[in-house]
Amino acid sequence: QIQLLQSGAEVRKPGASVRVSCKASGYSFGNRAITWVRQAPGRGLEWVGWVSGYTGNTNYAQNLQARLTLTTDTSTTTAYMDLRSLTSDDTAIYYCARGGSSGAEDLDYWGQGTLVIVSS
């Protein structure tokens, strides 16, 4: 069955960086994009960006693009989200989700989420 398994919770100090991983299984990784979505405590869903599973092409939310890097490793069918220069506003649950081939389609499978806490 299709699964997206994310790495565990992280705690960082302001100014630090964090990497979250998303291990995909049960489908052809290269045929789909991985989209990242975050949710601050008590808030709604916010699109972070997406990365193509095959080409590695990316599309980032404007408010994050200066600090964000999304990558994939096709050999391990794993997607990664790197976020730098963290502030308390980055405290959120980060989800990866399977999209279509371009990142514009629906998100039909989601990871369990990774809590990132930024605190001094």
Partner 1 sequence: SYVLTQPPSVSVAAGQSASITCGGNNIGSKNVHWYQQKPGQAPVLVISYDSGRPSGIPERFTGSNSGNTATLTISRVEAGDEADYYCQVWDGSGVHHVVFGGGTKLTVL
Which residues would be at the binding site for partner 1 (CB under 8 A)? 35, 37, 44-47, 50, 59, 61-62, 95, 97, 103-108, 110-113
Instruction: List the beta strands (DSSP E) in 1-120.
Output: 3-6, 10-12, 18-25, 33-39, 46-52, 58-60, 68-73, 78-83, 92-98, 109-110, 114-118
How far apart are alpha carbons 63 and 90 in whole angstroms? Answer: 11
Please check whether residue 36 is in contact with residue 50, taking contact to mean a CB–CB distance below 8 angstroms.
yes
Nearest distance from C-beta of residue 31 to partner 1, angstroms: 17
Nearest distance from C-beta of residue 77 to partner 1, angstroms: 19
Amino acid at 8: G
User: Residue 29 or 103: which CB sits closer to partner 1?
Assistant: 103
User: Residue 82 or 105: which CB sits closer to partner 1?
Assistant: 105
Nearest distance from C-beta of residue 104 to partner 1, angstroms: 4
User: Residue 77 or 98: which CB sits closer to partner 1?
Assistant: 98
User: Residue 89 or 105: which CB sits closer to partner 1?
Assistant: 105
Nearest distance from C-beta of residue 61 to partner 1, angstroms: 6
Please check whether residue 59 is in contact with residue 103, taking contact to mean a CB–CB distance below 8 angstroms.
yes
How far apart are alpha carbons 29 and 118 in whole angstroms? Answer: 31
